[in-house]
Amino acid sequence: MLERLNEAMDHIEDHLDETVDAAELARIAMTSEYHFRRMFSALAGIPLSAYVRRRRMTLAGAEVLAGERTLLDVAVRYGYSSGEAFARAFRAVHGVGPGEARRTGAALHSQPRMSFRLIVEGSSSMRYRVVEKDRFRLVGRGTRIPLVYEGMNPAIVEFVKSIGKETLGRWEERATGEPDGVLAVVGNHSAEDAEGTELDYFHGVVSETEVPGASEALDIEPGLWAVFESSGEFPLAVQYLWRDVYTQWFPSNPYRSRPGPSLSRTRVSEDGTHADAEVWIPVERAGD
């Protein structure tokens, strides 16, 4: 899988002065466009579109400073139909306009070319299983939250506090199916979402019966799920679990992610130092 991802990275480099087609990259990587975008974002730490834009502006920046082409020629070469559009994109990456950069020889930002490799540390094994589930229902409460890539999300913290520990305890008692316990559900997250993008967020339990204080319900479509477990220091155990799923498990197994909500359950010790985490990710067999 990593070899095919790197072939896709080579394709990006060969077409930075053209339109980079995500569907073609997915074909090269022999996977779906949805999974390719998710995989790339997890491995690279930035969305595919942001990486392509930064690489394109890195090369454009070098040409701007070289002074061998007019600014309009550089703009057209990298796919911009006007100098104004090119200047906006250039400034967004480099913090300075192309004209000023050429006049002053300004220091510009550089996005290095990326390639992927799998590092096998061997210090721990990932516990996982693949489950096929029929349609099931989640009951609880939902809200909209801004996307935060690193650290705690204050909006989630406040939302969970607003539900209250007693209510969450009653929900857990009424949970009737797997995955068990109180779950955090992220519904419409895309690998191309920028920081601050509003997402659908849901807190609830699997239950076919009425649950006190649960005012909303989500029906989850049938399909395959990859279920991952981890135990360790909080919050590192949870953060490392998400990282390892995309950097180790997906590249080494014949599955790819499919559209659908991700589910997670985290149980933190009373002193807040230890956590048992479980993550459910909708998947399908590669090649299906």
Q: At 45, which CATH number? A: 1.10.10.60
Residue 235 DSSP one-character state: T
The pair of structure tokens assigned to 274 is 């230890």
The C-alpha atoms of residue 174 and residue 104 are separated, in whole angstroms, by 67
> Roughly how many angstroms between the first and final C-alpha of the chain, as a whole number?
16
Residue 26 lies in a domain: yes
pLDDT at 43: 78
Instruction: Quote the number of domains for the chain.
Output: 2
Q: What is the pLDDT of residue 71?
A: 95
Residue 264: strand pairing partners:
184, 279
Q: Judge if 93 and 151 occupy the same domain.
A: no
pLDDT at 177: 84
Statement to judge: residues 85 and 134 lie in one domain = no
Kindly state whether residues 12 and 53 are assigned to the same domain: yes
- The confidence score (pLDDT) of residue 123 equals 42
* 244-248 contacts at long range (C-beta below 8 A, 24 or more positions apart): 244/126, 245/42, 245/126, 245/279, 245/281, 246/38, 246/39, 246/42, 246/43, 247/42, 247/43, 247/118, 248/118, 248/120, 248/126
pLDDT at 237: 74
Structural domain contains residue 121: no
Identify whether residues 82 and 139 lie together within a single domain: no
Question: Both 192 and 248 in a single domain?
Answer: yes
What CATH number is associated with residue 194?
A: 3.20.80.10
Question: What's this model's pTM, rounded to 2 decimal places?
Answer: 0.70
279 and 176, same structural domain? yes
Evaluate whether residue 111 is within a structural domain. Answer: no
Shared domain for 169 and 256, answered yes or no, is yes
The reply to whether 190 and 75 lie within a common domain is: no
- For residues 152 and 279, state if they share a domain: yes
State how far the Cα of 197 lies from the Cα of 102, in Å rounded to an integer: 34
Cα separation, 152 vs 238, in Å, equals: 12
Neighbours of 139 (CB within 10 A): 22
Helix ranges restricted to H, the chain: 2-14, 22-28, 33-44, 48-66, 71-77, 83-94, 98-104, 154-163, 165-174, 236-244, 250-252
Residue 119 falls inside a structural domain:
no
Question: Cα(58)–Cα(52) distance, rounded to whole angstroms?
Answer: 10
Q: What is the pLDDT of residue 127?
A: 82
Same domain for 192 and 93: no
Looking at the DSSP assignment, which residues form a beta bridge with residue 144? 200
Same domain (yes/no): 133, 189: yes
- Kindly state whether residue 115 falls inside one of the protein's structural domains: no
In DSSP terms, 199 is beta-bridged to 145
For residue 122, being part of any structural domain is answered with: no
Residue that the structure tokens 């955090």 belong to: 184
Residue 114 lies in a domain: no
120 occurs within a structural domain: no
Residues of the chain with pLDDT under 70: 1, 118-126, 149-152, 188-195, 288
- Are both 94 and 131 inside the same structural domain? no
pLDDT of 191: 56
What range defines the domain where residue 242 resides? 127-285
Taking alpha carbons only, the member of 165, 160, 205, 154 closest to residue 182 is 205
What is the per-residue pLDDT for 90? Answer: 94
